[in-house]
Amino acid sequence: MVCDDFGGYKASFELGVTEIGCMAHARRKFFELHATHKSQTAEQALRYIQMLYEIEREVRDLEPDLRRLIRQEKAVPVMEALHAWMIAQRQIVHDGSAIARALDYSLKRWAALSRYLDDGAVPIDNNWAENQIRPWALGRKNWLFAGSLRSGKRAAAVMSLIQSARLNGHDPYAYFKDVLKRLPTQRASEMGGCCRISGNCFNPARHDAWPHTTGEISVVTTSLPPNDTNACMAAGMEGLGASMRAPDAFGDVHARLSP
């Protein structure tokens, strides 16, 4: 698991999950310190870390085995120099200072931060995953009050559907618009065909189709009486905010991607 130092992950490590430190989080400590105080020590740390990321750009498109070999050849010496430099700096800075806290964050997690060097399939950070969940993290405060536990679960299902469409290279709005127009008159036995994503029909501007160009999203409306059809369409067309105002509009939703 590539992650930061959040305490909630510790239990999984005790169960055998391997911890991989996120270099972006380690870098952020020094970046913030340099941005606010122009710390020369933080600037030097950033130079070392920049060298590591330059190596990652070089090996980005390579096979994992070759990526590991190049990391061992080029990144290991940089990591060793960075580690020695951090230890030396930590001995001369005051305990409790901002630079001491930044150094301690990396030094205490050094084994985890170094593990990416031994596995070419492991990334140097978890930026990709964080970017995927960023819209939900930014909107968390706005969506804090969903109205009920059921509507909160349904909001999570809608978010999953949106991300499923995106991962298949489609425009979520175009997909929902198409499905919700046909859903009210669709027979239950033909529900799979109603909700199928096929090719790039929901993103005509995209011609570089992903390997996953076909997916299927099945919708089971276990609590959607006929007179709620309009509410369902309104909730889907207007977005997540509408689903909050009409918490009973959606039935249970399950997303499944098929290659």
Query: Which of 92, 127, 162 lies at the terminal end of a domain, its last residue?
Result: 127
Give the angle subtended at the CA of 27 by the CAs of 25 and 28, to the nearest 5°.
Answer: 65
Q: Which are the contacts of 115, defined by CB distance < 8 A and separation ≥ 6?
A: 18, 19, 20, 21, 122
Determine the Cα–Cα distance for residues 165 and 167; give it in Å rounded to an integer.
6
Could you tell me the end-to-end alpha-carbon distance of the chain, in angstroms, rounded to an integer? 25
The answer to whether residue 225 sits within a structural domain is yes
pLDDT at site 156: 83
The 10s digit of each residue's pLDDT in 197-238 is 555 455 544 433 333 333 333 333 333 333 333 333 333 433
Percent residues over pLDDT 70 in the chain: 73
78 lies in the same domain as 146:
no
The 10s digit of each residue's pLDDT in 98-132 is 999 999 999 999 999 999 999 999 999 999 888 87
pTM: 0.61
The answer to whether residue 200 sits within a structural domain is yes
The 10s digit of each residue's pLDDT in 148-169 is 889 888 888 888 888 888 888 8
pLDDT at site 149: 86
158 lies in the same domain as 94:
no
Output 240 or 28, whichever has higher pLDDT: 28
pLDDT at site 203: 53
Residues β-bridged to residue 214: 198
Residue that is written with structure tokens 């096979």 in the block? 63
| Token pair recorded at residue 75 | 């990144």
pLDDT at site 210: 33
Determine the Cα–Cα distance for residues 256 and 215; give it in Å rounded to an integer.
7
Nearest residue to 106 via CA among 128, 122, 84, 131: 84
114 lies in the same domain as 15:
yes
116 lies in the same domain as 8:
yes
DSSP letter at 253 equals E
148 lies in the same domain as 118:
no
Q: Is residue 43 over pLDDT 70?
A: yes
100 lies in the same domain as 199:
no
Determine the Cα–Cα distance for residues 104 and 229; give it in Å rounded to an integer.
57
227 lies in the same domain as 173:
yes
Query: Which of 101, 127, 153 lies at the terminal end of a domain, its last residue?
Result: 127
18 lies in the same domain as 115:
yes
Q: Is residue 244 over pLDDT 50?
A: no
> Range of 118's domain?
2-127
6 lies in the same domain as 123:
yes
Phi, psi of 256 (to 5 degrees): -140, 130
Domain count, the chain: 2
Output 110 or 257, whichever has higher pLDDT: 110
The answer to whether residue 233 sits within a structural domain is yes
Query: Which of 127, 154, 170 lies at the terminal end of a domain, its last residue?
Result: 127
The answer to whether residue 136 sits within a structural domain is no
121 lies in the same domain as 64:
yes
